[in-house]
Amino acid sequence: MTIDEMAGSVSPWLTGQAGHGESVISTRVRLARNLAGLPFCHSAKPEDLTHALDRIRDAVMSTNTLKTGTYMVMSELSDLDREFLVERHLISQEQAEKSGVRAVVVGDNEMVSVMINEEDHLRLQSIQPGFQSMEAWRLVDRVDSDLDTRLEFAFSCDWGYLSACPTNTGTGMRASMLVHLPALVLTGQVNRVLQGISQMGLAVRGFYGEGSEVMGNLFQISNRTALGTSEVDILQSLDNVVRKVLEMENQGREILLRDARSQIEDKIWRAYGLLKYARRLTSQEVMSLSSAVRLGKCMGIVDRVSIGALNRMLFVSQPAHLQKRLGRRMSPGERDEERANMVRSILEEEESRTGAG
Amino acid sequence: MTIDEMAGSVSPWLTGQAGHGESVISTRVRLARNLAGLPFCHSAKPEDLTHALDRIRDAVMSTNTLKTGTYMVMSELSDLDREFLVERHLISQEQAEKSGVRAVVVGDNEMVSVMINEEDHLRLQSIQPGFQSMEAWRLVDRVDSDLDTRLEFAFSCDWGYLSACPTNTGTGMRASMLVHLPALVLTGQVNRVLQGISQMGLAVRGFYGEGSEVMGNLFQISNRTALGTSEVDILQSLDNVVRKVLEMENQGREILLRDARSQIEDKIWRAYGLLKYARRLTSQEVMSLSSAVRLGKCMGIVDRVSIGALNRMLFVSQPAHLQKRLGRRMSPGERDEERANMVRSILEEEESRTGAG
């Protein structure tokens, strides 16, 4: 599947239909691996990186999961295509921006992908819709096992898998869920909850992962260390914490309905009205307004729009997605207009589907 | 027509159909008159006021225009009913609030009314839709002539009609138009224009007349003095100034369309979206949002709503109108909810009428 084909479709993990899909947008599991006998990327010479790239590409493209995948070399892609892959959560900002011998292999349905020569020689990832850490882990583990028969990974009996950054050494695993917590934000409890998560050894990040801002009340909760624990323990700890956070979020929603129903309904429907009628919308505004509508959907206040449509809205209204769809670079002002058109057409489609209007 | 019947209907002068009806909501002409041989209201004893009231009521109720009108004594009305009449522009805030022997006679279609014992013994007024100073004047003049055969007015050959405040002495006339000037506000020209109006001897006030705030970009332009000039000159001067202001407003709209079309469309449609979907709305917000939609209607950006409906929205969403309609006192929070329901139902009705949605 080429980038242009991807741009015409929606990531399959945005269906919003898996477990807790209303509040957990997606689950991601990634493994960091490095080739034995080669320096880590940050200290490797170009020829080492080229050597690593060739070996990894051949190995990856012969796995069952990725043999029909798309191989893309970063330096051969346009800036816009690289931005698109970042927005799609298929490569990191670092992979998009830094020069050097870098690539990515994306599986057919985008649920599995491998970055080559990012911080580590390999970063395998699987993204699944909703609350599905075990399923994401199974998919990525299958690729890992396949690759293990073809490549020799840097591994120490004492430390486990070795990696460029100590926080990834051990299992090399980072598991995360993208969680929607509007009621905790509205009731002013979110900082306390995030502190609690942090004390339990997990990290909280923004929409685009490490270093990114929190937008639209979307938080990425992930394990912080990969060492001295097993993969299954990491996943179970993430599952437990996210379940607990969802419970608190649901309590927050009940409090809102009990104490401020009229204000919340107003907030939600105003957001809907702005999404439906605005002629210019920034990405930030779409995130924030669609967060309110998503809350309305979860609370039974808004019926006329599906979670899948709200997920789609969030993704297709990102700058590179918009520009890929129209096939050209656009000024921020043009993007704001195009984004408003796109959002409006999604809502109109949903309204005619649900018979509202 | 009782107040309860009025509350179930819309002022006939809100049709929005007369000349310049999109930008000139209404024209009002009022005459101040006092009875000869009796002290002015502010220095009259209660028995003088009662005497004046009786004579005036009998005279007014026997004119052709007002013989089928409704006579209401202020002290016999509830606070809510008096607030309603203020919102309806049928009595002044002063008439509603001050104690004493005060009354009003309202003609069948509310286009002509007479306040008794306000600042002057009589205040005759006619309100007409749109730009119609001559028609308003003709109606009020007919009542004045009728009354002149039945009452002796305080009149001096040197000064003309005498009145409690010197600014009303002479013709006793104040003529005003309620004008919508959003483009002059948006382009930052309004203060300069208002200064010009002031230099030409006219006054500018807010929505509820003297001392009231400007809301929803609605300005009341009126003559400042009534002395040393004829009624027709006052009306012509008002007509000329308002025509000039409308010309500048239209130039402002052309500038907006030329230089900021996309921003203006966005502003207008967002206002529409909020009016249509909000679950709580304050009066101020309805004035400001409906001002944007009215601009959109005038500019051909919004088709799905009529000027009449926008006028109706402005009036029925006032606090006393809302409470009269529901037949009970409501808290500000309840009113905001009820107002949003009312506004939404007006827009839904308009959408189904115009086939939009």
Q: Tell me: the pLDDT tens digits for A67-85?
A: 999 999 999 999 999 999 9
Residues of B in contact with A264 (CB under 8 A): none
| CA of A278 vs chain B CAs: smallest distance (Å) | 5
| CA of A246 vs chain B CAs: smallest distance (Å) | 27
> Is B261 part of the contact surface with chain A (CB cutoff 8 Å)?
no
Contact A273 B269 (CB under 8 A): no
Residue B101 host element (H or E): none
Beta strand extents in A147-288 (DSSP E only):
155-156, 160-161, 173-180, 202-205, 218-223
For residue A336, what pLDDT is reported?
97
Q: How many angstroms separate the CA atoms of B311 and A254, rounded?
A: 40
HSE of A309, CA atoms in CB hemisphere, 13 A: 22
For residue B222, what pLDDT is reported?
95
| CA of B10 vs chain A CAs: smallest distance (Å) | 27
Listed in sequence order, the residues at least 6 apart from B209 whose beta carbon sits closer than 8 Å to its beta carbon are B92, B176, B220
Question: Contact, A144 vs A126, CB < 8 A?
Answer: no
Q: How many angstroms separate the CA atoms of B165 and B155, rounded?
A: 14
Q: How confident is the model at residue A31 (pLDDT cuts 50, 70, 90)?
A: very high
- Which of A117, A7, A116, A134 is closest to A66 using CA atoms? A116
> Is B272 part of the contact surface with chain A (CB cutoff 8 Å)?
yes
HSE of A194, CA atoms in CB hemisphere, 13 A: 19
Give the nearest partner residue to B278 out of A270, A279, A357, using CB atoms: A270
For residue A167, what pLDDT is reported?
87
Listed in sequence order, the residues at least 6 apart from B151 whose beta carbon sits closer than 8 Å to its beta carbon are B33, B35, B55, B56, B59
Give the nearest partner residue to A270 out of B272, B277, B333, using CB atoms: B277
Q: How many CB contacts within 8 angstroms connect chain A with chain B? A: 55
Task: For residue A80, give both structure tokens.
Answer: 């816009």
| CA of B337 vs chain A CAs: smallest distance (Å) | 8
> Is A265 part of the contact surface with chain B (CB cutoff 8 Å)?
yes
Residue A194, pLDDT above cutoff 80? yes
For residue A285, what pLDDT is reported?
95
φ, ψ of residue A5 in degrees (nearest 5): -65, -40
Residues (pLDDT < 70) of chain B are: 16, 208-213, 357
φ, ψ of residue A211 in degrees (nearest 5): 80, -5
> Is B355 part of the contact surface with chain A (CB cutoff 8 Å)?
no
Average pLDDT over chain A, rounded to whole?
A: 93
Question: Contact, B166 vs B159, CB < 8 A?
Answer: no
Q: How many angstroms separate the CA atoms of A335 and A329, rounded?
A: 9
Where would I find the H helices in chain B?
A: 3-7, 46-60, 79-87, 93-97, 133-148, 182-186, 190-199, 231-277, 283-298, 307-316, 319-326, 332-354
Residues of B in contact with A280 (CB under 8 A): 262-263, 266
Q: Which residue of A has its CA nearest to B266?
A: A279
Q: How many angstroms separate the CA atoms of B236 and A127, rounded?
A: 74
For residue A18, what pLDDT is reported?
73
Residues of A in contact with B266 (CB under 8 A): 278-280, 340
Long-range interactions of B161-165: CB distance < 8 A, separation 24+: B161/B31, B161/B32, B161/B33, B161/B34, B162/B34, B163/B32, B163/B33, B163/B34, B163/B40, B163/B119, B163/B120, B163/B226, B164/B32, B164/B34, B164/B40, B164/B41, B164/B42, B164/B119, B164/B120, B165/B119
Single-letter residue type at B145? S
For residue B49, what pLDDT is reported?
96
Contact A262 B280 (CB under 8 A): yes
Q: How many angstroms separate the CA atoms of A67 and A78, rounded?
A: 24
Residue B15 host element (H or E): none
In three-state secondary structure terms, A205 is strand
**Across A149-177, average pLDDT:** 94
Q: Return the residue in A272, A279, A343 with the most chain B beta carbons within 10 A, the one to mutate for interface testing.
A: A279
The C-alpha angle B352, B356, B357, rounded to 5 degrees, equals 85
For residue B206, what pLDDT is reported?
77
CB neighbours of residue B262 within 10 Å? 14
Q: How many angstroms separate the CA atoms of A118 and A123, rounded?
A: 7
> Is A279 part of the contact surface with chain B (CB cutoff 8 Å)?
yes
Residues of A in contact with B269 (CB under 8 A): 277-279
Specify the DSSP class assigned to residue B213.
Answer: P
Q: How many angstroms separate the CA atoms of A317 and A306, rounded?
A: 17
> Is A278 part of the contact surface with chain B (CB cutoff 8 Å)?
yes
Residue A258 vs residues A170, A251, A252, B20, B208: alpha-carbon distances, Å: 47, 11, 10, 49, 39
Give the nearest partner residue to B337 out of A262, A274, A276, using CB atoms: A262
List B residues 309-348 in contact with A (Cβ-Cβ < 8 A). 333, 337, 340
Contact A273 B278 (CB under 8 A): yes
Give the nearest partner residue to A269 out of B266, B279, B357, using CB atoms: B279
> Is B149 part of the contact surface with chain A (CB cutoff 8 Å)?
no
For residue A94, what pLDDT is reported?
93
Residues of A in contact with B289 (CB under 8 A): none
For residue A142, what pLDDT is reported?
96
Q: Taking the CA atoms of chain A, what radius of gyration do you get in angstroms?
A: 21
Q: How confident is the model at residue A356 (pLDDT cuts 50, 70, 90)?
A: confident
Q: How many angstroms separate the CA atoms of A272 and B78, rounded?
A: 40
Question: Contact, B344 vs B27, CB < 8 A?
Answer: no
Q: How many angstroms separate the CA atoms of B203 and B220, rounded?
A: 8
Residue A209, pLDDT above cutoff 70? no
Contact B269 A263 (CB under 8 A): no
Q: Which residue of B has its CA nearest to A351?
A: B357
> Is B265 part of the contact surface with chain A (CB cutoff 8 Å)?
yes
For residue A177, what pLDDT is reported?
96
| CA of B357 vs chain A CAs: smallest distance (Å) | 6
Instruction: Judge residue B333's burial from the number of C-beta atoms within 10 Å of its C-beta, 0-12 exposed, 13-18 middle, 19 or more buried.
Output: exposed
> Is B277 part of the contact surface with chain A (CB cutoff 8 Å)?
yes
Residue A13, pLDDT above cutoff 90? no
Q: How many angstroms separate the CA atoms of B12 and B353, rounded?
A: 20
Residues of B in contact with A337 (CB under 8 A): 262
For residue A211, what pLDDT is reported?
62
Give the nearest partner residue to A279 out of B265, B277, B279, using CB atoms: B265
| CA B319 remoteness from chain centre | 16
Residues of B in contact with A357 (CB under 8 A): 357
Contact A273 B274 (CB under 8 A): yes
Give the nearest partner residue to B279 out of A266, A275, A276, using CB atoms: A266
> Is B302 part of the contact surface with chain A (CB cutoff 8 Å)?
no
**Across A35-58, average pLDDT:** 95
φ, ψ of residue A262 in degrees (nearest 5): -65, -40
Give the nearest partner residue to A273 out of B276, B280, B333, using CB atoms: B276
Single-letter residue type at A15? T
Residue A146 vs residues A106, A119, A164, A168: alpha-carbon distances, Å: 16, 22, 22, 21
| CA of B266 vs chain A CAs: smallest distance (Å) | 4
Give the nearest partner residue to B277 out of A262, A272, A280, using CB atoms: A272
Contact A270 B276 (CB under 8 A): no
For residue B209, what pLDDT is reported?
63
User: Which residues is B155 bridged to in the sheet?
Assistant: B161
φ, ψ of residue B342 in degrees (nearest 5): -65, -45
In three-state secondary structure terms, B160 is strand
> Is A261 part of the contact surface with chain B (CB cutoff 8 Å)?
no
CB neighbours of residue A24 within 10 Å? 25
Q: Which residue of B has its CA nearest to A270?
A: B278
- Which of A280, A279, A208, A273 is closest to A290 using CA atoms? A273
HSE of A9, CA atoms in CB hemisphere, 13 A: 13
Give the nearest partner residue to A277 out of B273, B279, B333, using CB atoms: B273
For residue A208, what pLDDT is reported?
64
Task: For residue A212, give both structure tokens.
Answer: 């990114």
Query: How do residues B210-258 score in pLDDT, each as one tens digit?
Result: 666 678 999 999 998 888 889 999 999 999 999 999 999 999 999 999 9
Single-letter residue type at A118? E
> Is A270 part of the contact surface with chain B (CB cutoff 8 Å)?
yes
φ, ψ of residue A222 in degrees (nearest 5): -145, 165
Q: Return the residue in B259, B267, B277 with the most chain A beta carbons within 10 A, the one to mutate for interface testing.
A: B277
Residue A207, pLDDT above cutoff 80? no
